[in-house]
Structure 1
Amino acid sequence: MLQKWSKMSLSMILAAVLAFMVSACGNSNGGSPNSSGAQKTEPAQTQPAQTEAAQKPAEKQFTLTAAGSTFVYPLFSKMFAEYNKLHPNVQVNYQSIGSGGGIKQLTAGTVDFAASDAFMKDEDIAKIKNGVIHIPVTVGAVAVIYNIDGVEKGLKLTQDTLAGIYLGKITKWNDPKLTADNPDVKLPDLAITPVFRSDGSGTTSIFTDYLSTVNAEWKDKVGKGTSVQFPVGIGGKGNEGVAGQVKQTPGAIGYAELAYADKNKIAYAQLRNKDGKFVYPSLEAASLAAASAAANMPEDTRVSIVEKPGEKSYGIVGFTWALLNTQYDDADKKQAVIDLLKWVYRDGQQYSEDLLYAKIPEAIAKINDKNMEKIK
């Protein structure tokens, strides 16, 4: 009986071992035999592959601070918004406080770059610890705006009558000198109120540069600059301030960037140019001035372009310069500033004409490229 039981136990043990071996063999290959009798194999387990976005490091975020010209503000607003769409990690906080204010902040080292419609003098450049270069970013015309009831267009001004108004020598709109130039316009017996910029202004620099160029008395008594002592009139802060004063003051006359005049639907005058033609401020006139400047642009780009010859030329035209340091302590921020400004004076120029600014000619853009290389 014991011998029989031993034989049966041994048979059972062998069967169990065989079953286990078959099962283990099948499980180790992870599946059933295929049609050829070979066992399927599963790939070794690995960590899930990371996506390209997960592998790419997050872009560093930048908020660049800048300040200055109100003249260029409509264009900069558009450009910086479009740049942010292309580069979401870069935002520009631009304060439209006037060219003089921008230069002060650059000198104090509180902004990453400034903008000015007046180029800096040597003595002012010397005050900037980290140096400065001038990068022309646009060209625009300064409109002579006015508020005369019933005269929405057609007013003509010569170089001398405009200077005479701001010198306080012509005080009524029906002055014989004005009526002589405007035989087809009924000018009223209305006092003239000149309006000027109360803040340090590149637009004032362009305007007074023009008056100094065309009128000897103005040059001797008042001169040119971002801030001058105007003999008569009232002040307004920024292009928008001057435009606002003119719009609300009957008989007022002022000067503002063409885009402000156009946007606010304020009448602006025709000026007699160097060739004796009366012309309105325009994109074409600004483009002609830019092309003229490009032919003789100095390396430092500091040049006046008022009162250039040509039948279609308009006298009160100027550059806006971005003012960049030649040295930045933060290498990453330096590169962000360089990339932004290169885009502004190249690809960003596509937004100029719709806002009545002239594009920077290629010859000037190439000078900008060389000057940007000076930034360390």
Structure 2
Amino acid sequence: MRNWRSTTAVLAVIPLLATACDAEAQGEGGDLSADLTGAGATFPNPLFQDWQYEYAFEQPGVHINYQSIGSGGGIEQFLQDTVDFGSSERYLDDDELDAARDQRGCDPIQFPVIFGSVVPAVDNPDLEGLVLDAATLAAIFDREITSYDDEAIAELNPDMDLPDQEIVPVHRSDGSGTTYVFTNYLSHEVEEWDEEYGAHTEIDWAEGTVGGQGNEGVAGGVLQNEGGFGYLNQSYIQEEDDLYPVSVINADGNAIEPTLEATTAASDEAEIPEDYRFDINDVGGEGFPIAGTNWIFAYECGYDDDTAEALRDYWTWATQTEEADELAVELGYAPMGPELKERVAGEIERINVEDE
């Protein structure tokens, strides 16, 4: 298992350095040339960095700078027209779509690229294999449940020796699609949570919780606070040896570990409409119930020819090639299925279509 923390800084720099090299240093390359800027979700950042690095061998003249600032920041920068593409774990709502049209003078485009799970995690090896449900998760972050040996947790874990230890809930402090996926699940499953907090990228959290910037900050908050308990993207969990994922009971009453197979099973249950605005709820079978999607935002107009061609080529490579899928699976993400890939390929072709 790779230690993601020790490689983060390197991976963040490599794409920029590698794409600055000439085609001869990287092998055969394409003939595109553009500087692409994007910003948004931390959820796909480990994968995006790997994608950017590998794509540079295909098109060394295309330089991609993706800033992992959170889904809220990605939506804001996209709507302010300061980036070529935005990224979020929450789709654009009606007001945001209208704002995008007003800003650019043409229709925005949003399409999914990858699926992943949002995983509750603890820092205590004695709690490895802990099982929770939506009600206990909501109660932990609402501070109704404050100790690991609480009766409600004990009922779900009859064979586990639960410690008399305070739970320190750690959440995202920035505008976050990961928070949206997590709170959408809680809102869908727990009426009291929906009434008090709802599903948003930013939440007015209960007193006694701890905030962390990005998935990295949440992981740090869990590890630095005895009794830490947080929610993170699946890839961050699998790259950190000191975090222990929690199994969650799904709609069929099955306690599901957050494996790649369980994420894929959840994504298979998603009903995806023509406008690509959807949530993954009521996951049963072998699916992990807290699953989400990453969307990319672009426009039908306003790019110069080189930028538009590079955007289409990069996202086609990322969503349609076996190489990109293999990188996703390695990091714990679930690629799209064949039918959805075909639909998304058509959306990518809409980029800058009005100016051509």
TM-score when normalising by structure 1: 0.81
1:281 matched to which residue of 2? 258
Hey, what does 1:302 align to over in structure 2? 277
Task: Give the 3-state SS of the residue equivalent to 2:199 in structure 1.
Answer: coil
Aligned: 1:218 with 2:193? yes
1:220-248: CA deviation from partner (whole Å, max 9, x where unpaired): 11000111111241100001110110011
From 325, 331, 339, the counterpart of 2:305: 331
Give SS of 2:244's match: coil
Shift of 1:325: 1.6
Q: Secondary structure at the match of 2:297?
A: strand
* Distance in 2, Cα, partners of 1:149 & 1:333: 48
Alpha-carbon distance in structure 2 between the residues aligned to 1:231 and 1:257: 22
User: How far apart in 1 are the matches of 2:312 and 2:218?
Assistant: 33
Paired residues, number? 316
Q: For 2:244, which of 244, 264, 267 is the aligned residue?
A: 267
Aligned to 2:288: 314
Q: Which residue of 180, 196, 201 maps to 2:155?
A: 180
Preserved contact between residue 67 and residue 114 of structure 1 (Cα < 8 Å): yes
Shift of 1:326: 1.9
**In structure 2, C-alpha distance between the alignment counterparts of 1:121 and 1:186, rounded to whole Å:** 45
In 2: Cα distance, 1:355 partner to 1:307 partner: 25
More deviation, 156-165/208-217: 156-165
How do 1:354-373 residues align onto structure 2 when only pairs under 5 Å count?
A: 354-373=330-349
Normalised TM-score (structure 2): 0.86
User: How big is the shift at 1:149?
Assistant: 5.4
Name the % identity.
36
Letter in 2 for 1:320: N
User: Contact 2:89/2:295 (CA < 8 Å) preserved in 1?
Assistant: yes
Find out whether 1:103 has 2:63 as its counterpart.
Answer: no
CA contact (8 A) 2:264 2:287 kept: no
One-letter amino acid matched to 2:327: Y
Cα deviation, 1:286-330, whole Å, max 9, x if unaligned, reads 11122222xx321111110133122x1111001101111221231
1:341 aligns with 2:315: yes
Shift of 1:148: 2.7
- CA distance, structure 2, for counterparts of residue 282 and residue 150 of structure 1: 20
Residue 165 (structure 1) aligns with: 140
Greater Rg over alpha carbons, structure: 1
Residues 361/60 of structure 1: CA separation in 2 closer, same or farther (3 Å cut): closer
Deviation of 1:258 after TM superposition, in Å, equals: 0.8
CA contact (8 A) 2:36 2:64 kept: yes
Structure 1: which 5+ residue stretches go unaligned? 1-52
- Give the whole-Å Cα distance in 1 for the aligned partners of 2:326 and 2:159: 39
Which amino acid is 1:271 matched to?
V
Tell me if the contact between 2:35 and 2:307 (Cα under 8 Å) persists in the aligned partners.
Answer: no
1:214 maps to a residue whose letter is E
The aligned counterpart of 1:230 is 205
Partner of 2:45 in structure 1? 73
Shift of 1:262: 1.1
Deviations 1:86-108 (A, max 9, x none): 11101211101001111111111
Instruction: Tell me by how many angstroms 1:213 deviates.
Output: 0.8
Task: State how far apart, in whole Å, the 2-side matches of 1:344 and 1:373 are.
Answer: 14
Which residue does 1:42 correspond to in 2? none
- On the 8 A contact 1:307/1:316 being kept in 2, the answer is no
CA distance in 2, matches of 1:226, 1:69: 11
State the partner residue of 1:134: 110
Aligned residue number for residue 198 of structure 1: 173
Q: Distance in 2 between matches of 1:329 and 1:93?
A: 16
Q: Provide the residue aligned with 1:36 in structure 2.
A: none
Q: Which amino acid is 1:66 matched to? A: G
Letter in 1 for 2:93: K
State whether residues 149 and 250 of structure 1, in contact with CA within 8 Å, keep that contact through their aligned partners in structure 2: no
CA distance in 2, matches of 1:303, 1:227: 19
In the alignment, structure 2 segments of 5+ residues that lack a partner are 1-23, 25-29
Contact in 1 for aligned 2:187/2:194 (Cα 8 Å): yes
Contact residue 52 and residue 64 of structure 2 kept, 8 A: yes
CA distance in 2, matches of 1:95, 1:344: 17
Alignment partner of 1:172: what SS?
Answer: coil
